[in-house]
Amino acid sequence: MAKRFLLLSSAAFLLAALSPTLSRAGTAGTAGPPPAAAPAAAATAAAPATAAQPAPAVPAPVTPDPYSAGSVQAGATRAAVCFACHGPNGNSIAPTFPRLAGQNAVYIAEQLHLFRSGVRQNPVMDPMAQTLSDQDIDNLAVFFAAQTPTGLEADPTLWKAGKALYLSGDPERRVPACVACHGPLGRGNPAAGFPALRAQQSVYVVTQLQNYANGTRYSGPKAVNATPNSKMMFAIAKRLTPAEIQAVASYVQGLR
């Protein structure tokens, strides 16, 4: 558990350092002790009447640990219908559908909850997610996490540029290196909720980065905060050029 908190703290630090627009809220005006409180009666009399504020939107629930709650065997039975789009054991053949094989279970569970709640929308996934119970989600998540992703090839004209961005980022434009969160081999970081990217379909990666850049990856008034890491990705994707998106997507497709 201590390791999980440390990784999440590191992710929070990276988020805070991305840009002034992502600076930590609530730090202004905190220097010095607070003023002495006025008597309760006087404060009540002086306080102006204000309209009730709506409660902030709460992100969809995320399974804390599908690895402890899910069953690979039960997931295998439920996953049969998923193979039509995501391929045998999660190795999709169609480039527009993501590969789920080897994806960490925490991320899969998170995204299925988001589809089911309508925070993330897709005409194919929406009705599928509505049929899933919490236990189904845990089972599917651990089943796909247990599968082995098969290799894909990177575009030979793009992978070098993609590798440079993935490993080094672009400090001048405040673009952090992808490796910091997704790992040197693109295996992600389950404890921090960062998804695996290795052997992912490049066409799918391009689409998702574009969706982050144009703000349509998630829906609703709190879309930018849909997940603990989404705010960071919305900011990073906006700083990437279309050519950079293509290059880094090609590079991760070739990762083993």
Q: Where are the domains of the chain?
A: 66-145, 159-253
Q: What distance in Å separates the CA atoms of residue 117 and residue 230, rounded to the nearest whole number? A: 16
Helix, strand or coil, per DSSP, at residue 189: strand
State which CATH number among 1.10.1030.10, 1.10.10.10, 3.30.70.260, 1.10.760.10 fits the domain covering 66-145.
1.10.760.10
Helix, strand or coil, per DSSP, at residue 194: strand
- Mean pLDDT (the chain) is 83
pLDDT at position 34 is 44
Q: How confident is the model at residue 67 (pLDDT cuts 50, 70, 90)?
A: very high
Confidence check: pLDDT of 4 > 50? no
Triad 247, 252, 253: Cα angle to 5°: 95
| Whole-Å CA distances, 63 to 71, 135, 196 | 14, 10, 18
**What number is the average pLDDT over the span 242-252?**
98
Q: What distance in Å separates the CA atoms of residue 162 and residue 159, rounded to the nearest whole number? A: 5
Measured distance between the N- and C-terminal CA atoms of the chain, rounded to whole angstroms: 28
Higher-pLDDT residue of 117, 27: 117
Q: How confident is the model at residue 151 (pLDDT cuts 50, 70, 90)?
A: confident
| Whole-Å CA distances, 57 to 27, 61, 103, 224 | 22, 12, 28, 11
Confidence check: pLDDT of 226 > 90? yes
Higher-pLDDT residue of 223, 19: 223
Confidence check: pLDDT of 53 > 90? no
* CATH architecture of residue range(s) 159-253: Orthogonal Bundle (1.10)
**What number is the average pLDDT over the span 183-192?**
94
Confidence check: pLDDT of 190 > 70? yes
Q: Fold match between 66-145 and 159-253?
A: yes
* Half-sphere exposure of residue 242: CA atoms within 13 angstroms, side-chain side: 1
CB 226 within 8 A of CB 121: no
